[in-house]
Structure 1
Amino acid sequence: MDELISKAISEKSYSYKEYIDMTEKLLSEGKTTGPDQSSEMIEYTKLNLVRMNRIEKTKGINEQLINSLSSLDKELIWLVISEPWCGDAANIVPVLAYIADINEKINFRIILRDENPEIMDRYLTNGGRAIPKLIIFDSISGKELAVWGPRPATLQKEINRIKSTPGYSIDELKKTIQLWYAENKTKDIQSEILGLIKNLKNN
């Protein structure tokens, strides 16, 4: 971990609770994060806050993942790049936070994409600043151990399929994405993080 990331974690990062509190405060002022303060982005943020709170009420981490995490004997930093207006982040970041909370050796921190462009540009997806992104570091050595995101592979495959269809609708794509998250009930997120944890144990 270099100085840029270390400084962002120490000076500009949030716990999950702080992230929610910050979002609520901005919305109370009629604002959201980032340079785009349009009414559309503020509405996205309001909707995402509802989504995040809903996931909090219905969270259920599978037993295999709990057992794997509980026996993980490494001091880790889970750094997530996110923004409250991002629909994928609203469905994923709460799950990552609850997973990380299982093991007290995991320090879960969130930084905002648009406040940290130099960091974001190290973790592009097909050349784009897609979020959320989870980057896992060894807390002691600072070594980067894993990167995950911006969404589960099955969903990404479906998005790619839709985007390859001539004349596809952005609105329909957004509906498809949210329906997928609702029906999947965080199963693929948990499954992929479980695979990531197993790899960490083997390395």
Structure 2
Amino acid sequence: MAFFLEFVRDPLTVGAVAPSSPALARVATAAVPRTGSPVVVELGPGTGSFTEAIQRRLAGRGRHIAVEVNPRFAQRLAALYPAVDVVQADATDLVTELAQRGLRQTDVVVSGLPWAAFAENHQRDVLSAVVATLSPQGAFTTFAYVHARWAPPARRLLRSLQSQFEEVVVSRTVWANLPPALVYYCRRPLRPAGGGG
């Protein structure tokens, strides 16, 4: 109900009427390594469906930074997950937020953002921030609803992903989600000539 109320308040930043299912969370967070001490960034955690799955995979290792623009979601998330560094900010500010924490690169970025609700320039700016912060062997995961996969915003997102990552793999449909969804696994960001990394 809390999620639905936030959707009614601001559908362009919430972007869904219900939180992601545990099934979708498992698929979307599969790129988070179960070993080592990775830096994992979560964009648009909402009420924490992916947050919980990431925390389970990390099991106390590494760093988990969650970037949430909605102040009510951010406050609730910080209370529920004290081990997570919850940042109330726009995902386009990712480079700055990481720099303030002494970080230049991330190993995995998991996105729960409502891409279809974003204007083209906002999609581009968020994706640029992701690519700028991922390590050369880093992974980015995000999802799309199956029913909207062929809509212009979703097609634009897929084209952008394919132009900015060496590998983009699409998961099987996660039917146990409302609505059914699929996950894009993007690996090895492509940086422009002269760009760092």
Point out the structure with max Rg over C-alpha: 1
What band does the TM-score fall into relative to the shorter chain? 0.3 to 0.5
User: TM-score, structure 1 length as denominator?
Assistant: 0.34
Task: Report the structure, 1 or 2, having the larger strand content.
Answer: 2
RCO comparison, higher one (Cα < 8 Å, 6+):
1
User: TM-score, structure 2 length as denominator?
Assistant: 0.35
Task: Report the structure, 1 or 2, having the larger helix content.
Answer: 1
